[in-house]
Structure formats: structure tokens, C-alpha cells
Amino acid sequence: MSDYAYIVLIPLLPLASFVLLGLFGRKYFTKSAGIIGTMALLASTIIALMAAHQYFFVDGKVAGAYHQVIAFKYTWLAFSPGVSIDMGIVIDPISVMMLVVVSFVSLMVHMFSLGYMKGEERFATYYAYLGLFTFSMLGLVLSVNIFQVYLFWELVGVSSFLLIGYYYEKPTAVAASKKAFIVTRFADLGFLIGILILGFYSGTLDISTLIHKLTSVQSPEYIAITTAGFLGASALTWALVLVFIGGAGKSAMFPLHIWLPDAMEGPTPVSALIHAATMVVAGVYLVARLFPVFSMDDTALHVVTYVGAFSALLAAVIACTQTDIKRVLAFSTMSQIGYMMFALGVSKQVGEQGLGYMASMFHLFTHAFFKSLLFLCAGAVIHLVHSNEIKDMGGLRKLMPVTHIAFLVACLAIAGVPPFAGFFSKEEILLAAFNENKLIYAVALFTAALTAFYMFRLYFSIFWSKESAHHDTHHEGTVSMKIPLIILAACTIGVGFIPFAKLVTADGAALETHIDILFSLAPVGLTLIAILIAARLYKQQNGGPQKIADSLGGFYRVVSRKFYMDELYLFITKKIIFPLIGKPIAWIDRNIVDGCMNALASITVKISGGIKGMQSGKVQGYALYFFGGVTLLAILFIYVWK
């Protein structure tokens, strides 16, 4: 087995770029920051591709199946005997795949930003943040230890907080970054408790040891964690559901998705990086990483399945009504990640039944390309028209030919039209769903049609519809912005033909798959019909869409307000938590606590004949509380607890 230690360079190069630009960027590299960051990422990407080649085609396969290799492991801290926190690098099919995806998309974003962010005052800072984010994401992907995952998980959160809030003069951006941070924190809470439970029962934090212990039915750890229960579910179920909540927060699954649309306030290339290919799929990756354990527990898998499917459907419905180009893309991301989640949910660990796992990873892979392409195209469009609203666009196909073609390719891919990348991965997902759960299959099919509809609504509204109101003097953007679009468009066409089932599977062994034309008939047919409807409605400007919206009336309004989800959260926090918890506390503070003090004070004052002056009288109250506390504890432990 050959040495993979050089892989450590892949995350370290972006880190170096972050340190260099973060410390000295604003002084010395105001102009060259972009080039430095891009070069670092270029090197990372090349190394990642080399590693992928070495693993998949040279020496990763042992006895017909891909093996896990621990390239490097360093015991960073021995917490207690048995439980140690390691930093290391794990090499297996999914981590290698993610390495390629993350470094490649990050490279494209770095390159695109050269033109897009040119002239920004904090140009160097922007690239420093990009470097930090890429480093954290790569570190997360390579983790050998569940604590390492958590550490990088949080770092990803911090750096995305910085990136979303990059335009910190804009109050909406600040609010959005805060929302993203706090909402994902709530989810991370679940993750943290999940880790603690898993760590407690299995006695280790090392992922492969943990999987080993919790997947052998006879092991004492497995017996302990499945027999211990809490509120009717086993500790294993709880741990996995909690871990999944953590993943759902990062991956914007219902009901923790509310931060994603708002996070679109960040610079558009950032959305292409964070909200298309990397951070949002971290949740999927987490479930995939612990999949052997998940596959031991049906309840947890059902949670994954239904949350995923519901999110996919909900987001697709909402996306049909949004008028902000980036928000449409945000909801489509949520919808596609829903696909990946339920594909994992319907999967099993071994053999043919592992189709869902493979399909999920495949879709993650192809989605990374076409979704980041869509975001970058959106960035180019926004760069030109200086607006996010669809109504300000239209007829742009002549002004921006490259963007136009790229966007079309990406739309065809996400809609699942053969032979574009999305078709292959979506087919596998649908097939996996069809084999396991017909209800999920129906939802997935309907969602696929909706996806085609809203994506082409977007496409026609931007590039066709009315004649462009913009003059020819506007340019499509610099060469450095066009190149990534072209490269990503080429990938979007090409990556579907990668024999993914032979490379990335749940158990490492190759899976036989083939495209069944009869099976494909339904989804592709529905997709084409949806595209035709979108073309009919949006290719020329007409009253059609408005009529439909009117005829749907209340329903349309509910959907376009995202099912009033934000209002619901606001209602709960503003109307319930603040007045019902916050205000009473303030009231107790002001009236009861102070009141008690004052009452006590006045009594004491009367008794002792008026000690005034410096003493506010409160101290007696403090003493009373003190004594009350002692008494309470005494009663509790002498009489109640006994």
C-alpha cells in the first residue's frame, strides 16, 4: 500500500493562503491576493486529482473492493484511557470524491471571484476567508475522529458566518449571517449530544473503531446502546437522530432550513461555494460517513428518509414562486439535498441494496458541478444587471452568450435530461426509491417535474421573455469569470459518464447498474412536459403566469411566503419566547426580586430604626436568599431525596 501522506498538503495549502492573506493581505497583497489564493487552490486541486487517480485506479482496490486507508493519524490528545482525540486523514471512496469536489469547486470560485470581486475594498480579506473555509471543509472531509469532524464542522460554521456577513455594511447581510450561525448552532447542539452518547456507549471517538463496535451485533457496546432506552427509543436511535439533526442544520433540511434563503445575502461566488457544493452537503456526508451505524437502525433511517423527501418537495414548491434568482437557486439546493438524504435513507449497507447510498453520493457529485455553475451564472447575471430580481432581467441571451449556454446546460442537468450529468444520478436515486418505498418514489417523481419547471421558468425569464433593457456597452464579465463557467459546463456534460457505481459504494465493492429505458420514460417524459409548460408560460412575456397565480389565489400566496415559515419562527420568538419567558423574567427581576428586597429592606429599616445612607437595604435580601437556598437544599436532600 502506497503512502498517502502527501494528501495533508491539500488542506494545508488553503490554510497557508488564509494565514498569509489574513496577516499581511491588507498591507502587501491588496492586488495580488486573488492570484495567491487561486494558485494555492490550483495546487490543492492538482494534488487531489492525483490522489483520486492513485486511489481509484492504482492501489485503492484490495480483493475487488475499495479499502479504507488511514493515511495519517496523530493522537492529538489522550482524553482518558481508551478515548483519544486524533487528528488524521482517512482515505476511502467518499472522502477522495469529496476532496476532488471541494477543491475543484473552490478553485472555480476563486477564479471567478478574480473578476467578480475586483475592486472590492477588502479583496484580500475575502480571499483569506475563502482559504479558511476551504481548509475547514477539507479538514472535515478527511476526519478520522468524530471529534475532529465536530471541530472542523464548527470551523466551517464560523468561516461561513464570516463569508455570508462579508458585506457587513449591509444590515440584511449581518442579520443573515447571524441567523445562519444561530440556527446551525441549534442543530450542532444535537450533533454534540449525539457524539457524547455515541462516545459514551462505544468508549471511543475514533470513527472506524466506533463503526466496528456498533455494527457487530454481539459486541457488548452494541448490546449496551440498543438496550438502553429513553422515551421509548433506544440510545442508538437517539444518538443517530441527534447526529442527523446536526447534519440537517448544515444541510438546510426542514425545519432547520430557514437560514439558507437569507444566507444568499453573501457575495454570489460564496453561495456557489458554500451553498452548492460544500457546506450544505456536509450533513449528507456526515450521514454517509456514519452510514454503517445508521444502517443498523431502521427508525433513524426512516427519519432521514422522510425528512429528506419532505424537504425535497417543500423546497421545490416554494422555489416555483420565488422571484429572487438566488433564492430560487437556494431552494433548489435544499430540494436536491433532500434527494441525497432520502436516497441514503432507503439504502442498506451491503450489495445490491446499497444502490441508494451510491446514488446519493453520485448525485452529490454531479450536483456540485451543475449547482455551482448555476450560482456562478447567476453571479455573472447579477454582475451585469445589478439586481437579483427576475423582473429586472430578460432577453439577456444576446448580451451574455457564454453565460446563456452554461446556464442552459446546467438547467438541463438539474432537470435530469439525458445525457447531462443530473440525469444519471437522479435515475439511480429514483430507482433506489422505487425498489424500497413507492411513496417516496412518487414524491421524488413529482419533485423532479417541479424542478424542471422552476428551473426553466428561471432560464426563460432571464434569457428570453422580453427584449433586453440593457445596452450593448455592458460586458459579460472578464475572461477569468468566463473560464470557470466553460470548465464547469464541460464537467456538467461529462461527469455523468463516470462509472460511479464501480468506484463509490457503501461496501466498497463495485455495483452493477444500467440505465433502463422503460424506467427512465416516466421521469424524463414528465420533465420534458414541465419544460414545455415553462416555455409556454415564460418564453414570451404574457399574462399566463399571473393568471395561474391569481387562480391559485391564497395557495400561491402561502407558498410564495415560504409557507409562512419565517413568520412562524418570528411569531414563536417574538410573541412567545420574548413576552412569555423574557418579559416575565424581566418582570420578576424588577418587581419580585427587587420588590422582595425593598420589602425586606423596609421591614429591616423599621425594626432597626432606620439604617439608611449607603446601604440600599438589598444585602439583607441577599442573605435571605442565601438562607433560602441552604434551606431548600437541606429539605431536598434530607427529606425528599431520601
Partner 1 sequence: MLMDFFILLKQELVIVAIIFLLLFINLGKDRSNESLLPLINVVLLLNVLLGFFGSKEGSLFGEMFHTGKLIILEKNILNLATWIISLLSFSWLRTHKHVIEFYILLLTALLGMFFMISSGNLLVLYLGLEMSTIPIAAAANFDLAKRKSSEAAMKMIISSAFSSALVLLGISWIYGVSGSLDFSVILLQGPDSPFRIFAFILLVSGFAFKMSAVPFHLWTADVYEGAPVSVTAYLSVVSKASVVFVILAFLYNAGKAFADTWYHILIVLSILSIIIGNLFALRQNNFKRFLAFSSIAQVGFIFIGIAGSSQVSSAAVVYFVLVYVFSNLAAFGVVALVSAVSGKENISDYKAFYTTNPLLSWVLTIAMFSLAGVPPTAGFFGKFFLLMAGAAKGNYWLIGIAALNMVVSFYYYLRVVKTIFMEENSQPIEKLAIPGASRLALYICLAGMLIAGLASCVYDYIYSISFGL
Name the residues that contact partner 1, by CB under 8 A.
76-80, 83, 85, 147, 150-151, 154-155, 158, 165, 168, 174, 178, 181-182, 185-186, 189, 192-193, 196-197, 199-200, 230, 582, 585-586, 589, 614-616, 618-619, 621-623, 625-630, 632-634, 636-638, 641
> What minimum distance in Å lies between the beta carbon of 199 and partner 1?
7
> What minimum distance in Å lies between the beta carbon of 265 and partner 1?
13
Q: Looking at beta carbons only, is 486 or 636 nearer to partner 1?
A: 636
Q: Looking at beta carbons only, is 196 or 521 nearer to partner 1?
A: 196
> What minimum distance in Å lies between the beta carbon of 577 and partner 1?
11
Question: Measured between alpha carbons, how far is 527 from 427 in angstroms, rounded to an integer?
Answer: 12
Question: Measured between alpha carbons, how far is 402 from 63 in angstroms, rounded to an integer?
Answer: 46
> What minimum distance in Å lies between the beta carbon of 258 and partner 1?
15
> What minimum distance in Å lies between the beta carbon of 278 and partner 1?
18
Residue the block writes with cell 495519517: 72
- Tally of CB atoms within 10 A around 480: 17
Are 413 and 490 in contact by the 8 Å Cβ rule? The answer is no
**Cα–chain-centroid distance for residue 579?**
32
CA-based end-to-end distance of the chain: 62
> What minimum distance in Å lies between the beta carbon of 639 and partner 1?
8
- How many degrees, rounded to 5, is the angle at CA 387 between CA 383 and CA 391? 125
Amino acid occupying residue 33: A
Question: Measured between alpha carbons, how far is 314 from 181 in angstroms, rounded to an integer?
Answer: 23
**Cα–chain-centroid distance for residue 227?**
33
* The three three-digit cell numbers of residue 409, written as one number: 446546460
The residue count of the chain comes to: 642
Q: Looking at beta carbons only, is 92 or 206 nearer to partner 1?
A: 206
> What minimum distance in Å lies between the beta carbon of 436 and partner 1?
32
Output b/e per residue, 125-160; b: 16+ Cβ within 10 A.
Answer: bbbbbbbbbbbbbbbbbbbbbbbbbbbbbbbbbebb
Please list the helix, strand and coil fractions of the chain in percent, rounded to the nearest 5, in that order.
Answer: 75, 5, 20
> What minimum distance in Å lies between the beta carbon of 206 and partner 1?
15
Q: Looking at beta carbons only, is 86 or 428 nearer to partner 1?
A: 86
> What minimum distance in Å lies between the beta carbon of 621 and partner 1?
7
Q: Looking at beta carbons only, is 153 or 464 nearer to partner 1?
A: 153
Give, for 74, the enclosing helix (H) or strand (E).
strand 69-80
Residue 322: DSSP 8-state = -
Q: Looking at beta carbons only, is 564 or 626 nearer to partner 1?
A: 626
Q: Looking at beta carbons only, is 183 or 412 nearer to partner 1?
A: 183
> What minimum distance in Å lies between the beta carbon of 245 and partner 1?
12
Q: Looking at beta carbons only, is 149 or 449 nearer to partner 1?
A: 149
Q: Looking at beta carbons only, is 555 or 637 nearer to partner 1?
A: 637
Q: Looking at beta carbons only, is 22 or 395 nearer to partner 1?
A: 22
Question: Measured between alpha carbons, how far is 174 from 569 in angstroms, rounded to an integer?
Answer: 18
> What minimum distance in Å lies between the beta carbon of 185 and partner 1?
5
Q: φ and ψ at 616, to 5 degrees?
A: -80, -10
> What minimum distance in Å lies between the beta carbon of 636 and partner 1?
7
Q: Looking at beta carbons only, is 46 or 158 nearer to partner 1?
A: 158
Amino acid occupying residue 621: G
Sign of the dihedral defined by the CA atoms of residues 57, 58, 62, 63, in that order: positive
Question: Measured between alpha carbons, how far is 62 from 616 in angstroms, rounded to an integer?
Answer: 79
Cis peptide before 171 (omega within 30 of 0): no
Rg (CA), the chain: 27
Give, for 616, the enclosing helix (H) or strand (E).
none
Q: φ and ψ at 78, to 5 degrees?
A: -90, 100
Residue the block writes with cell 490543492: 44
Q: Looking at beta carbons only, is 155 or 533 nearer to partner 1?
A: 155
Question: Measured between alpha carbons, how far is 166 from 269 in angstroms, rounded to an integer?
Answer: 12
